[in-house]
Amino acid sequence: MIYTALGGAGEVGASCHLLQIAGRNIVIDSGLRPNRRGEESLPNFELLQALTRGKVDLFLLSHAHIDHTGSLPLMHAQYPATPMLCTEPTQVIVDILLRDTIKIMDMQREDGGEFPLFGRREVENALAHLQTVAFDRWVEPIPGVRVYFHRSGHIVGAGCVLIETEEGKVVYSGDISVAAQRTVAGMKPIDFFQPDLLILEGTYGDGAHPNRSSQEQTLAKAVAEVVEDGGTVLIPSFALGRAQEVILILKFSMLSQTISTFPIYTDGMVRWICDAYYDMRDPERGLLPYLPEKLQNFVRNSRQHVFWSRPRRNMPEVSRLQANERVSILTKGPKVIIASSGMLVGGPSAFYAKALASDRKNAIFITGYQDEESPGRRLLELQTGDTLKIDGVDVPMLCRVDKYNLSAHADQIQLCQQVSYMKPRSIVLVHGEIRALRTLRDKLIDKYIVYAPRNAETFDPMKAPEWMSAAKQEYLEADRARFVGDVRVTGEGVEVRFPAEMRNHPTWRRRYADADEIEVAFDGPRMRLSPSRKDPS
């Protein structure tokens, strides 16, 4: 088994991983770096071509976010015969996101003369080639390789990818969230499949999330405060996932009369993603069947759109803004604007930030991950009155700026819990800044072989890293061993016998080898061993 990081290692962006197993070349995800342009935004396709000699046997797509799907048209153009698998919701959303990516590239060409990476034909060809598979079912897309998509809780349609071959078992986590969100249930443990290799995201491998419900309440009340004082709140949001969560947080806070009622306007790709969730003409089309049951029931019983609504008692106006309304909406009364991009990297959110930031009555609230190089990250690091360059313009930041943790990624404790369910032999950490991945590696290294690679690294993940001592390697290998004994009922009682080689097991040597006596306690489903040692005095 050989693993190669083509993108997304030591970074968040351009996720793309090559797994060479059982004589097959399997690629998982093919994203873009949102903060880069041109070829700098792409995974390492040249390395992929060299390592596979132009043959990719299978392509798997974990979910629809652009850092995992943005270079999909190029992947298909280079390997047009390769089967490409994803879930049905992912296919629906990728269609929208990739068509929007073309528009962004066209604008970049007009602004800076950059040639687009791909066009409509490449997008349509890739979309036509995507095959959808259901969650929670094993399929065999190519001989000798079985694949299973397990709901990962990140966004609608997102899945952990389980791969089974004669050479070994692999889990690719994709992006995972254990905590339930309003538009997607939290991930359930993978306790039914023990992989040899786990490729695990580590976005928040060095952090712990605060209570989500508390963060939602705090955000809603903070927004209401600004609006009641006559200001406008801008919430830059990822078009897929976060924007929908924020809309529902505010909408249901108003319906429950926790906060006052005010209008919510959306702009950018947020509008089209929200439309995809629900088709008023045919409610069972779109993404509605994949939403949590509680939200499905609300939509069906109220007979209204999941997100859009007209103003009435305790019901806010939630509507789309058109490009020609962006200037005029700023002169209207207090309101909330939810717009992409989530990191203020271009798009309508950058336009609104430039217009709103210099007024102390207004606010910009950040709710998602901010890349180290993004304007959103720099915004959080500024002092009031400092200037921030947005779209090439220096903007004085006088408005209120706050951050709320509504993460759709698992934190360190949650990641470690998921690892403990799967019990892999080896772990490759990806999708995170280097600091976060190294912190998570240090947390896991006592029990597992752990890699935190850089892009373009190729290695056998089943072999321990060179820096790991021989003694540590031996311990990890031995500690995975299992010993099965037998139980004999005699006239004197019940005897439990294990093989003699169990005495060489590291845990036995560490805990029981020098014990004077070993007490055995039986409580039904378990049997516990407790060593005791005599007082040397």
User: Do 502 and 388 share a domain, yes or no?
Assistant: no
Q: Is residue 478 part of a domain?
A: no
Q: Is residue 64 part of a domain?
A: yes
Our count of domains for the chain comes to 3
Q: Given this model, what pLDDT does residue 479 score?
A: 57
| Domain span holding position 150 | 2-207+408-470
Q: Is the pLDDT of residue 519 over 60?
A: yes
Residues 400-418 have pLDDT tens digits of: 999 999 999 999 999 999 9
Pairing of strands 400-403, 363-366: parallel
| pLDDT bracket for residue 457 (50, 70, 90) | very high
| pLDDT bracket for residue 518 (50, 70, 90) | confident
Q: Is the pLDDT of residue 297 over 60?
A: yes
Query: Is the bond preceding 341 in cis, omega lying within 30 degrees of 0?
Result: yes
User: Do 34 and 167 share a domain, yes or no?
Assistant: yes
Instruction: Pick the last residue of a domain from 427, 445, 470.
Output: 470
Q: Are 429 and 452 in contact (CB under 8 A)?
A: yes
Q: Are 499 and 483 in contact (CB under 8 A)?
A: yes
Residues 245-278 have pLDDT tens digits of: 999 999 999 999 999 999 999 999 999 999 888 7
Amino acid at site 111:
D
Pairing of strands 527-532, 517-522: antiparallel
**What does pLDDT average to over the chain?**
91
Grouping H, G, I as helix, E, B as strand and the rest as coil, residue 336 is strand
User: Do 360 and 385 share a domain, yes or no?
Assistant: yes
Q: Tell me what the mean pLDDT of segment 342-353 comes to.
A: 92
510, 514, 515, 520: CA torsion to nearest 10: 50
Q: Is residue 476 part of a domain?
A: no
Q: Given this model, what pLDDT does residue 259 score?
A: 96
Instruction: Pick the last residue of a domain from 403, 433, 450.
Output: 403
Greater confidence, 496 or 442? Answer: 442
Report d(CA 270, CA 285) in Å as an integer: 19
Q: What is the CATH number of the domain that holds 97?
A: 3.60.15.10
Q: Tell me what the mean pLDDT of segment 493-511 comes to.
A: 80
Q: Given this model, what pLDDT does residue 475 score?
A: 59
Q: Is residue 224 part of a domain?
A: yes
In the chain, count of helices (H) and strands (E)?
16, 26
User: Do 93 and 188 share a domain, yes or no?
Assistant: yes
CA 240 from chain centre, in angstroms, equals 12
Neighbours of 122 (CB within 10 A): 19
Q: Given this model, what pLDDT does residue 512 score?
A: 82
Which of 25-29, 490-494, 532-536 has maximum average pLDDT?
25-29
Q: Given this model, what pLDDT does residue 60 score?
A: 99
Largest CA distance in the chain: 92
| pLDDT bracket for residue 68 (50, 70, 90) | very high
Q: Given this model, what pLDDT does residue 109 score?
A: 64
Report d(CA 461, CA 428) in Å as an integer: 7
User: Do 191 and 42 share a domain, yes or no?
Assistant: yes
Residues 85-124 have pLDDT tens digits of: 999 999 999 999 998 888 777 766 666 656 678 888 999 9
Q: Given this model, what pLDDT does residue 83 score?
A: 98
Report d(CA 457, CA 480) in Å as an integer: 27
User: Do 176 and 256 share a domain, yes or no?
Assistant: no
User: Do 192 and 151 share a domain, yes or no?
Assistant: yes
Q: Are 506 and 478 in contact (CB under 8 A)?
A: yes
Instruction: Pick the last residue of a domain from 424, 440, 470.
Output: 470
User: Do 200 and 122 share a domain, yes or no?
Assistant: yes
Q: Given this model, what pLDDT does residue 113 score?
A: 56
User: Do 135 and 188 share a domain, yes or no?
Assistant: yes
| pLDDT bracket for residue 14 (50, 70, 90) | very high
User: Do 519 and 420 share a domain, yes or no?
Assistant: no
Q: Is residue 297 part of a domain?
A: yes
Tell me the CA distances in angstroms from 175 to 65, 154, 205, 403, 422, one per residue in order.
10, 6, 12, 21, 16
Amino acid at site 137:
R
User: Do 196 and 216 share a domain, yes or no?
Assistant: no
User: Do 356 and 221 share a domain, yes or no?
Assistant: yes
Q: Is residue 537 part of a domain?
A: no
Tell me the CA distances in angstroms from 74 to 31, 46, 304, 488, one per residue in order.
10, 12, 39, 64
Q: Which two tokens stand for residue 213?
A: 């419900």
Count CA within 13 A, CB hemisphere, residue 349: 26
Amino acid at site 240:
L
Q: Are 179 and 418 in contact (CB under 8 A)?
A: no
Greater confidence, 493 or 191? Answer: 191
